[in-house]
């Protein structure tokens, strides 16, 4: 990597100038400030008691002669800006043109094995737009970590027991609803939705119904033969429904965990911890008093004797950290309101087995999704279904552009996923349909259209073998050269920070740079020496866009 070589040169020069700090290299946002820059001279002012400009000059004087650096300049108040030899950068473009992408390795531990737990829809409920953001984020994180040299295990933890299911099954049993009546999967899911809504209302308004629902809940937990067939069949409806969605958004899982399989073990672990004094009794429940550990106090067994989410999490952790051998990190993609939950359960798990768990659990929080505007009739209760969002985007794309069904489907999924991924997981999203499907601005259709443009140019041009030269590059060509080199770092940074938005921003900027280059520079009609390098840029940009979008979990099309 050019950065590493450059950092070594600068580190050696800085040490000879009397600086002990590590040199940090950044990529200037303003292209006129070079390919790379460092503020090490500014950092050393206090220690050396000299002007940063003088320190910067001393560092430059100690940089060894090499073929990598073309130009070095000092920019007030003391930055060192560096322009790299164009032929060095060209090597990256040549590799990208051949679909060869080398990303620095990122390993979170010696096993090079990471688990990413994402999606998390509960059975008997709709897969809503929040789940869509979750699965888009998790899928991209998986691909980014794989691209940086890791084995990644995809897991999905789903709630198939609990009061929400008891409410649903209570209503089905009370009304004597025939499960053979709904024929299609859509009809089955609609039945579950209406049954849950009715059960929820009964729970809130009828004390007898409330007690009956708690009894159904007990029967589910204990796998009572009287309730088991109804529970099993309706759980399978939800699983089939979710599987269709997973396929539609290009996700899959190595292991799906369900609350029903780990709740008993979670209960037993909680009882063991009670005996050991890690947990304690409080008001008829079993809790972890987190005050002395700097976390919240939370309930692990409720007053009815059932394991809470916290208790079940102990059983889940045991399974996840044993089913696939030793793992370096388990990343949970879950909303921020579960921060307290994870802080407490992580702490309890560390008290169970510090070597096994400490520092290996991570909560990747993603924020809420809301519609900026839209058809509120899509709501069922307060839920906006994820499938509806994709279908609506698809319908609007077909109304706006002449697209066949396959292309419209790919663009619809791309539009929705990219709208989520371009925003930091820390921020709320106000989803805007028109922005998401626009061919202008920071959208998936814009990026995919740019990719299609590169392929169209390549198909129309029959290039003869010509020597590639970086001599006399114009401004747009220099910017593309510089931008293409930055790709591997953007992938690495996205993986390192678990932030797909970094890569999304890079791809948008690359598309902008290429489209400006395309507008100002003829390719087909260029002289042969110019045509060769411009075609290489075009091929490299196309390959990079396709590769980068794939890491975001987004497909491309060849025609639009």
| pLDDT for 372 beyond 50 | yes
Q: What is the CATH number of the domain that holds 511?
A: 1.10.730.10
Beta strand segments in 242-316, E: 255-258, 280-282, 285-288, 298-301
Residues 360 and 386 in one domain: no
Q: How confident is the model at residue 466 (pLDDT cuts 50, 70, 90)?
A: low
| CA 156 remoteness from chain centre | 15
Q: How confident is the model at residue 303 (pLDDT cuts 50, 70, 90)?
A: very high
Rg, the chain, Cα only: 28
Beta bridge partners of 155: 117, 255
* Residues near 96 by beta carbon (within 8 Å), at least 6 away in sequence: 484, 487, 539, 540, 543, 544
Q: CB under 8 Å, gap of 24 or more: what pairs does 177-183 form?
A: 179/230, 179/233, 179/234
pLDDT at 528: 81
Domain that holds residue 165: 113-365
**Residue 346 covered by a domain:** yes
Q: What are phi and psi of 165, to 5 degrees?
A: -80, -40
Question: Lowest mean pLDDT: which of 128-142, 245-259, 324-338, 381-395?
Answer: 381-395
Residues 342 and 482 in one domain: no
Residues 224 and 279 in one domain: yes
**Residue 25 covered by a domain:** yes
Cβ count near 31 (within 10 Å): 14
Q: What are phi and psi of 81, to 5 degrees?
A: -105, 135
**What DSSP line would sit under 297-348, residue for residue?**
-EEEE-TTS-B-HHHHHHHHHHHHTTTTS--SEEEEEE-GGGHHHHHHHHHH
Question: Lowest mean pLDDT: which of 22-36, 104-118, 477-491?
Answer: 22-36
Residues 483 and 391 in one domain: yes
pLDDT at 280: 97
Percent of the chain residues topping a pLDDT of 90: 90
Average pLDDT over all residues of the chain: 94
pLDDT tens readout for residues 31-53:
889 999 999 999 999 999 999 99
**Residue 92 covered by a domain:** no
Average pLDDT, integer, range 332-336: 97
Q: Which of 282, 30, 245, 209 is nearest to 121 (CA)?
A: 245
Where a domain ends, among 314, 330, 365? 365
| pLDDT for 380 beyond 60 | no
* Residues near 269 by beta carbon (within 8 Å), at least 6 away in sequence: 311, 314, 315, 318, 352
Q: Can you give the pTM of this predicted structure?
A: 0.94
Distances (CA, A) of 123 to 41, 119, 157, 234, 444: 58, 12, 11, 8, 31
Where a domain ends, among 339, 365, 391? 365
| pLDDT for 374 beyond 60 | no
Q: What are phi and psi of 299, to 5 degrees?
A: -85, 135
**Residue 460 covered by a domain:** yes
Q: What is the signed CA dihedral for 467, 472, 475, 481, rounded to 10 degrees?
A: 30
Secondary element (H or E) of residue 502: helix 500-520
Q: How confident is the model at residue 376 (pLDDT cuts 50, 70, 90)?
A: very low
pLDDT at 377: 37
Q: How confident is the model at residue 463 (pLDDT cuts 50, 70, 90)?
A: low
Plot region of 223 (φ>0 → left; ψ -120 to 50 → alpha; else → beta): left
Residues 286 and 414 in one domain: no
- Residue 462 DSSP symbol: -
CA angle 509–512–516, rounded 5-degree value: 140
| pLDDT for 382 beyond 80 | no
Q: How confident is the model at residue 378 (pLDDT cuts 50, 70, 90)?
A: very low
Report whether 106 contacts 148 (CB < 8 A).
Answer: yes
Q: How many residues does the chain have?
A: 560
pLDDT tens readout for residues 213-232:
999 999 999 999 999 999 99
| pLDDT for 379 beyond 60 | no
Q: Tell me the C-alpha distance between 398 and 405, whole Å.
A: 8
Q: What is the CATH number of the domain that holds 307?
A: 3.40.50.620
Instruction: Please tell me which of 2-6, 193-197, 315-319 the model is most confident about, judged by mean pLDDT.
Output: 315-319
Q: How confident is the model at residue 525 (pLDDT cuts 50, 70, 90)?
A: confident
**What DSSP line would sit under 116-182, residue for residue?**
EE---PPTTS--BHHHHHHHHHHHHHHHHHHHTT-EEEEEEEE--SSHHHHHHHHHHHHHT--TTS-
pLDDT at 375: 43
Q: Please, what is the angle between helix 228-248 and helix 185-205, to 10°? A: 120
> What does the block give as tokens for 531?
């045509």
Domain count, the chain: 3
**Residue 484 covered by a domain:** yes
Residues 494 and 446 in one domain: yes
Secondary element (H or E) of residue 501: helix 500-520
pLDDT tens readout for residues 234-281:
999 999 999 999 999 999 999 999 999 999 999 999 999 999 999 999
Residues 181 and 260 in one domain: yes
CA angle 402–404–405, rounded 5-degree value: 130
Secondary element (H or E) of residue 72: strand 69-75
**Residue 315 covered by a domain:** yes
Q: How confident is the model at residue 439 (pLDDT cuts 50, 70, 90)?
A: very high
Residues 228 and 269 in one domain: yes
Residues 387 and 412 in one domain: yes
Q: Tell me the C-alpha distance between 522 and 527, whole Å.
A: 9
Q: How confident is the model at residue 472 (pLDDT cuts 50, 70, 90)?
A: confident
Q: What is the CATH number of the domain that holds 46?
A: 3.30.1360.70
Cβ count near 530 (within 10 Å): 19
pLDDT tens readout for residues 140-160:
999 999 999 999 999 999 999
Average pLDDT, integer, range 410-414: 98
Residues 344 and 444 in one domain: no
Q: Tell me the C-alpha distance between 334 and 121, whole Å.
A: 11
Q: What is the signed CA dihedral for 180, 183, 189, 194, rounded to 10 degrees?
A: -60
Residues 235 and 308 in one domain: yes
Where a domain ends, among 365, 394, 427? 365
pLDDT at 371: 87
Beta strand segments in 385-493, E: 429-431
Query: In terms of DSSP bridges, do strands 361-365 and 329-334 run parallel, antiparallel, or are they unpaired?
Result: parallel
pLDDT tens readout for residues 385-404:
999 999 999 999 999 999 99
pLDDT tens readout for residues 61-119:
999 888 899 999 999 999 999 999 998 899 999 999 999 999 999 999 999 999 999 99
**Residue 560 covered by a domain:** no
Residues 468 and 359 in one domain: no
**Residue 519 covered by a domain:** yes
- Return the half-sphere exposure (C-beta side, CA atoms, 13 A cut-off) of residue 235: 17
* Residues near 289 by beta carbon (within 8 Å), at least 6 away in sequence: 280, 282, 297
């Amino acid at each position: 990597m050019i950065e590493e070589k450059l950092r070594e040169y600068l580190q050696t020069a800085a040490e000879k100038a009397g600086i002990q700090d590590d040199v940090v290299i950044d990529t200037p946002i303003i292209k006129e400030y070079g390919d790379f820059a460092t503020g090490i001279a500014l950092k050393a002012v206090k220690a050396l008691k000299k002007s940063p400009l003088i320190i910067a000059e001393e560092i430059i004087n100690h940089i060894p002669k090499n073929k990598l650096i073309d130009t070095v300049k000092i920019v007030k108040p003391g930055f060192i800006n560096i322009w790299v030899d164009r032929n060095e950068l060209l090597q990256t473009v040549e590799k990208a043109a051949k679909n060869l992408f080398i990303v620095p390795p990122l390993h979170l531990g010696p096993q090079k094995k990471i688990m990413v737990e994402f999606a998390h829809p509960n059975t008997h409920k709709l897969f809503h737009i929040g789940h869509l953001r979750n699965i888009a984020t998790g899928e991209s994180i998986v691909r980014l970590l794989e691209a940086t040299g890791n084995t990644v295990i995809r897991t999905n933890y789903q709630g198939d027991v609990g009061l929400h299911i008891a409410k649903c099954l209570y209503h089905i049993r009370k009304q004597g609803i025939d499960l053979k009546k709904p024929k299609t999967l859509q009809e089955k899911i609609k039945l579950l939705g209406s049954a849950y809504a009715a059960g929820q209302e009964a729970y809130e308004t009828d004390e007898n119904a409330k007690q009956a629902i708690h009894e159904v809940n007990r029967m589910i937990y204990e796998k009572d033969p009287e309730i088991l067939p109804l529970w099993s069949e309706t759980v399978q409806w939800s699983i089939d429904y979710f599987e269709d969605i997973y396929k539609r958004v290009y996700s899959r899982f190595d292991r799906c965990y369900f609350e029903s399989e780990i709740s008993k073990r979670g209960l037993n672990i909680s009882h063991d911890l009670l005996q050991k004094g890690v947990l304690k009794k409080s008001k008829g429940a079993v809790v972890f008093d987190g005050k002395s550990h700097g976390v919240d106090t939370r309930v692990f067994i409720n007053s009815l004797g059932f394991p809470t989410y916290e208790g079940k999490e102990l059983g889940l952790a045991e399974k996840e950290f044993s089913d696939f051998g030793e793992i370096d990190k388990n990343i949970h993609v879950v909303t921020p309101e579960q921060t307290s939950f994870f802080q407490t359960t992580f702490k309890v798990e560390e008290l169970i087995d510090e070597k096994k768990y400490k520092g290996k659990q991570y909560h990747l929080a993603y924020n809420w999704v809301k519609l900026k505007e839209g058809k509120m009739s899509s709501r069922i209760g307060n839920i906006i279904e994820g499938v509806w969002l994709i279908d609506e985007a698809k319908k609007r794309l077909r109304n706006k552009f002449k697209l066949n069904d396959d292309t419209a489907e790919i663009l619809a999924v791309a539009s929705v996923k990219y709208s989520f991924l371009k925003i930091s997981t820390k921020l709320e999203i106000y989803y805007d349909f028109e922005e998401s499907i626009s061919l202008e601005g920071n959208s998936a259709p814009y990026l995919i259209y740019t990719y299609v443009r590169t392929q169209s140019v390549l198909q129309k041009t029959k290039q003869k073998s010509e020597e590639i030269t970086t001599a006399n590059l114009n401004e747009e060509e220099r910017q593309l050269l510089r931008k293409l080199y930055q790709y591997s770092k953007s992938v690495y940074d996205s993986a390192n920070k678990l932030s797909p938005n970094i890569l999304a921003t890079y791809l948008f900027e690359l598309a902008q740079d290429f489209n400006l280059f395309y507008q100002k520079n003829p390719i087909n009609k260029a002289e042969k020496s110019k045509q060769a390098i411009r075609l290489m840029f075009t091929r490299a940009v196309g390959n990079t866009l396709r590769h980068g979008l794939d890491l975001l979990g987004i497909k491309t099309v060849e025609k639009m």
